[in-house]
Amino acid sequence: MLFEPYVLKNLKLRNRIVMAPMTRNMSPGGIPTQEVANYYGRRAKGEVGLIMTEGIELSHKASSAYPNVPRLDSQEARDGWKRVIDTVKKENGSMIAQLWHCGAMRKKGMDPDPEVPGFTPSGLSSPGKRKAHKMSVEEIYQAIEAYTQDAIWCEEIGFDGIEIHGAHGYLVDNFFWEGINEREDAYGGSIIKRTKFATDIAKSIISNVHEDFIVGIRFSQWKQQDFGAKLAHSSTELKEFLDPIVNSGIDFLHSSMRRFWEPEFNESEDNLATWTKRISNIPTISVGSVGLDSDFIDMTAPANPASIEKAISDINKEKYDMVAVGRALLADPEWVVKMRDNKLTEVTPYTKEALAELR
């Protein structure tokens, strides 16, 4: 089933393999170049079912934390993305944009405005470290408006949908995480109230785009600030967390793990994506070092190609619906075809050199 067609909402995909979003830092001035278009085009030609863009900086003054990340808030940037989309569509590919606000990962002194600090729910950048700006309710509303406008632009220029980046210690995840969300208003407190920022974003986007436009959310237990962090310690808590997100009307959930083969709770051998699928009953993506022999700790660490039999088995058992592949696809744009045709020995291993170029 992994290599067979799949329909996400009304979008027909040629298989269930997703290119995971991966930051490339190769869009000077926030503008995707022709080289960026060719990079994504090669993955579409290599028969990736659904391409997720690298994180696109939200059109908000505090969204940035890394250099040369693409944006949407200029006509030149949107024209650049239109060029990317056209290249992908020419190869019969499908593409979703990931909208990304760095939140706690931004520090004062960073571009584009060094005077703007990181924005977080309570001014915490990590537990106990009050190094960011505490967002007012008005600033929360402004951020929601920025997500909505960027999603509207994404639909206008031809993306098939968007993913809200709600994982890994960035802004939306900062609201999810009780370790740094100490708010006592509608946006903090219980696990349900900590989802309100994300659900308000999703509802606003959905009400401002057409019905066929896909809207999803990526989430994780782990954070860059703390690999051992947990939003939910049991399936019961995970249900409390997921129910309001699902009820916002989203079309898919992207469950990010560092090692997709590991069980999430002591209750069973099931991973986070399997629990997410069971609880939510909506399309779910599993991700976490798929196709490699080592987990994600350091993007510069090498990793060799590995079997994907577990992912194939999980898909066949309908434990989740799609599998996202990151570093393996970064190294080899033909990974899908080679794995489908049982040519594991021909797959290019992942090395840090893959980060330095757009292969």
Q: What is the pLDDT of residues 116-153, one digit of tens each?
A: 999 999 999 999 999 999 999 999 999 999 999 999 99
Of the residues 170, 187, 320, 350, only one is catalytic, namely: 170
Which residues, including other chains, have CB under 8 Å from residue 101's CB and lie 6 or more apart?
57, 58, 60, 62, 63, 119, 143, 146, 147, 165, 170, 171, 172
Whether residue 116 lies inside any domain: the answer is: yes
pLDDT at 299 over 90: no
Q: Which has the minimum average pLDDT: 192-196, 238-242, 325-329?
A: 325-329
Question: What CATH code is carried by the domain that includes residue 106?
Answer: 3.20.20.70
For residue 201 the two structure tokens come to 């974003």
DSSP category for residue 58: P
Section 304-312 average pLDDT: 86
Write the DSSP assignment of 304-326 as a string of letters: -B---HHHHHHHHTTS-SEEEE-
- The reply to whether 96 falls in a domain is yes
Q: What is the pLDDT of residue 262?
A: 87
Q: Is 39 a catalytic residue?
A: no
Per-chain mean pLDDT for the chain: 95
Domain count, the chain: 1
Cβ atoms < 10 Å from Cβ of 244 = 17
In a domain, 163, yes or no: yes
Q: In this predicted structure, what is the pLDDT of residue 305?
A: 78
pLDDT tens digits along 160-177: 999 999 999 999 999 999
What does the DSSP assignment read for 140-186? HHHHHHHHHHHHHHHHHHT-SEEEEEEEETSHHHHHH-TTT----ST
Q: Count Cβ atoms within 10 A of the Cβ of residue 298 and give its class: 0-12 exposed, 13-18 middle, 19 or more buried.
A: exposed
Q: According to the model, what pLDDT value does residue 297 have? A: 57
Which one is predicted more confidently, 303 or 179?
Answer: 179
Return the higher-pLDDT residue of 76 and 353. Answer: 76
Q: At what angle do helices 75-90 and 137-157 cross, to 10 degrees?
A: 50
Q: How confident is the model at residue 298 (pLDDT cuts 50, 70, 90)?
A: low
Share of the chain above pLDDT 90, in %: 86
Whether 288 maps to a domain, the answer reads no
Alpha-carbon distance 255 to 286, whole Å? 6
Whether residue 73 is contained in a domain is answered as yes
Q: Is residue 109 part of a domain?
A: yes
pLDDT in tens, 230-251: 999 999 999 999 999 999 999 9
Least confident of 160-174, 178-192, 344-358: 344-358
pLDDT at residue 300 greater than cutoff 80 = no
Range of the domain at 83: 6-255
Query: Is 178 domain-assigned?
Result: yes
pLDDT in tens, 33-44: 999 999 999 999
Kindly give, in sequence order, each residue whose CB lies less than 8 Å from that of residue 132, ignoring residues fewer than 6 positions away: 103, 104, 106, 117, 118, 119, 120, 123, 124, 125
1 found inside a domain:
no
Element (H, E) at 340: helix 335-340
pLDDT of residue 95 exceeding 80: yes
What percent of the chain is predicted at pLDDT more than 70? 98
Q: Which residues of 71-96 are buried (b: 16+ CB within 10 A; e: fewer)?
A: bbbeeebbebbbbbbebbeebebbbb
- pTM over 0.85? The answer is yes
* Cα–Cα distance measured from residue 221 to residue 230, given in angstroms and rounded to the nearest whole number: 5
